[in-house]
């Protein structure tokens, strides 16, 4: 079964630029190969503020939107987070989506493509790495960054020189780690006895 990797667009802000970056990144990922890639836009998932009364580690979800989100997150072997920088960190909508579930993230791999103004989203990516570690998500080292000042000079996204190479390097690491961690997840899942 091929690896499944989600490209998660971490901004829901009206007028965001991330949708253009996400469309380019999805095309680049599919050209890279090594896995099946799917775009997951947080704006398409009505999670609202975290409203589950229980600990997500127990997976006793009371709301259908949480069960649907958990099933979607669980269906992937790895993730690419497309994350903008807002005030030295990443958007609250992404933190909320991460916090809704727990076990579904565990023992997976992730890459990060950050974007923003002066430092191209690097501070958002670093803040995100801390939370992903707590969710037992292994982040790969390669981290493409996009300066929105340079890439949106004409209003439309123009990938900077070398971005395709940086994304390919990140995906090489992500595909390798996602495959290895699939084995980790299988080893901790009890085998179903034969009938």
pLDDT tens for each residue of 134-187: 999 999 999 999 999 889 988 899 999 999 999 999 999 999 999 999 999 999
Q: How far is CA 41 from the centre of its chain?
A: 10
pLDDT at 195 over 90: no
Round to whole Å and give the CA distance between 158 and 170. 20
Q: Hey, is 112 helix, strand or coil?
A: strand
Supply angle C-alpha 34, 37, 42, rounded to 5. 150
> Between these two residues, 134 and 191, which has the higher pLDDT value?
134
Q: Phi first, then psi: give them for residue 80, nearest 5 degrees.
A: -115, 120
- 195 in a structural domain: no
Q: Phi first, then psi: give them for residue 87, nearest 5 degrees.
A: 50, 55
Round to whole Å and give the CA distance between 88 and 122. 9
Total domains present in the chain: 1
pLDDT tens for each residue of 114-131: 999 989 999 999 999 999
Q: Hey, is 86 helix, strand or coil?
A: strand
Rounded mean pLDDT of 102-109?
A: 98
What is the pLDDT, as a whole number, of residue 191? 55
pLDDT tens for each residue of 64-86: 999 999 999 999 999 999 999 99
Round to whole Å and give the CA distance between 104 and 78. 11
For 138, counting Cβ atoms within 10 Å of its Cβ (0-12 exposed, 13-18 middle, 19+ buried), the class is middle
pLDDT at 189 over 70: no
Rounded mean pLDDT of 54-64?
A: 93
Domain that holds residue 128: 4-188
What is the pLDDT, as a whole number, of residue 113? 98
- 105 in a structural domain: yes
Q: What is the CATH number of the domain that holds 8?
A: 3.40.50.360
* Paired tokens of 53: 């009364």
Whole-prediction pTM:
0.94
Q: Are 17 and 115 in contact (CB under 8 A)?
A: yes
Round to whole Å and give the CA distance between 16 and 24. 15
- 194 in a structural domain: no
């Amino acid at each position: 079964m091929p690896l499944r990797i989600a490209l998660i667009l971490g901004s829901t802000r009206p007028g965001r630029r991330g949708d253009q970056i996400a469309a380019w990144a999805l095309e680049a990922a599919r050209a890279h190969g090594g896995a099946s890639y799917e775009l997951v836009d947080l704006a398409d998932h009505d999670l609202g503020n975290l409203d589950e009364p229980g600990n997500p580690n127990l997976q006793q979800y009371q709301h259908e939107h949480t069960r649907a989100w958990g099933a979607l997150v669980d269906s992937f072997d790895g993730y690419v987070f497309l994350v903008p920088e807002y005030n030295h960190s990443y958007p609250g909508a992404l933190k909320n989506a991460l916090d809704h579930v727990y076990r579904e993230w565990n023992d997976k791999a992730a890459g990060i493509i950050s974007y923003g103004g002066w430092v191209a989203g690097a501070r958002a990516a670093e803040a995100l790495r801390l939370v992903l570690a707590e969710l037992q998500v292994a982040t790969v080292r390669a981290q493409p960054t996009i300066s929105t000042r340079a890439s949106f000079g004409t209003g439309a996204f123009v990938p900077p020189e070398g971005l395709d190479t940086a994304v390919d390097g990140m995906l090489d690491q992500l595909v390798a780690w996602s495959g290895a961690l699939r084995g980790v997840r299988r080893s901790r899942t009890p085998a179903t006895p034969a009938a």
